[in-house]
Amino acid sequence: MFTLGDLPYAYNALEPFIDERTMQIHHDKHHAAYVKNLNDALAGQEELLSLPVDTLIGDLSKVPEVVRTKVRNNGGGHANHTMFWSMMAAPSEGSDKPSGALSEVIDKTFGDLATFQEKFSQAGVGRFGSGWVWLVADKGALTITDTPNQDSPLMDGRVPILGLDVWEHAYYLKYQNLRADYIKAWWNVVNWREVERRFNTIT
C-alpha cells in the first residue's frame, strides 16, 4: 500500500508565495487522490504495492497492461508530489541559492543562476496544458525538460533533482491564469538544500 505522507511543513509555511488554501487542497485532495487511485489500480498485487513509488514508475513494463495507464498517471502523481513538497521550504529555511558543486554546474551549464531560472521558467510557461518542468541530472550534466500530465523523468531512466508542478490546481486559487506570476513567486520557496542533496546523491 502506498500512503500519503504529511507535508514537511505547515500548510501556511510557504505564504505569501504559495497560499495555505492551495496547499491544503493540493495535498489533501489532489495528492491524496493519486495515492488512493494508485492503490485501487494495484489492488491485490502485493509485490508491486510494496515497491518504492520511484521504483514502480521507473519500470512500468512490470505493471500489467490493463492498469498501466492508471499506474503511470497516479503513480507519477504520487511520486511527483512527494518530491515537490520536499523541494519547497519556508523562505527563511533554505530557499536562498544553490551552493557548492550544484552551483558550479548550474553556472557552467547555463551561465549563471538567473539565466537558468529564466530558461526553467520559460519551459514552465511554455508547457501546454498540465504537466511539470524538471531539472534533470545525468552523469553530472544538467538539462531542463518538461513532461505532460504526471509523467516523470524517472519513466525514462532520468533523475529529476528539481521539479515544478504547472497544473492549474497548483496555482489557480491565488494566481488564476497567471502561470508566469506563480512561477516567479515559486522561486522564493525552492529548497535548494534539498536540490543539492539530490544532486550530490547521484553524482
Where do contacts with Mn ion occur on this chain (CB under 5 A)?
165, 167, 170
Shortest approach of Mn ion to residue 5 CB, angstroms? 15
Cα(149)–Cα(74) distance, rounded to whole angstroms? Answer: 10
- In 3D, which of 136, 146, 149, 147 has the Cα closest to residue 34? 149
Nearer to Mn ion by C-beta: 11 or 167? 167
Nearer to Mn ion by C-beta: 38 or 106? 38
Task: Supply the DSSP string of 144-176, one letter for each residue.
Answer: EEEEETT--GGGGT-EEEEEEE-SGGGTHHHHT
Nearer to Mn ion by C-beta: 83 or 170? 170
Shortest approach of Mn ion to residue 23 CB, angstroms? 11
Shortest approach of Mn ion to residue 149 CB, angstroms? 11
Shortest approach of Mn ion to residue 170 CB, angstroms? 5
Cα(7)–Cα(31) distance, rounded to whole angstroms? Answer: 11
Phi, psi of 107 (to 5 degrees): -65, -45
Residue nearest to Mn ion (CB): 165
Q: How many CA atoms lie within 13 A of 119 on its CB side?
A: 16
Nearer to Mn ion by C-beta: 113 or 155? 155
Q: Is the dihedral of CA 150, 196, 123, 165 positive or negative?
A: positive
> Which grid coordinates are listed for 140?
553530472
Nearer to Mn ion by C-beta: 105 or 183? 183
Are the beta carbons of 186 and 19 closer than 8 angstroms?
Answer: no
Nearer to Mn ion by C-beta: 78 or 198? 78
Cα(136)–Cα(134) distance, rounded to whole angstroms? Answer: 6
Shortest approach of Mn ion to residue 160 CB, angstroms? 15
Shortest approach of Mn ion to residue 190 CB, angstroms? 16
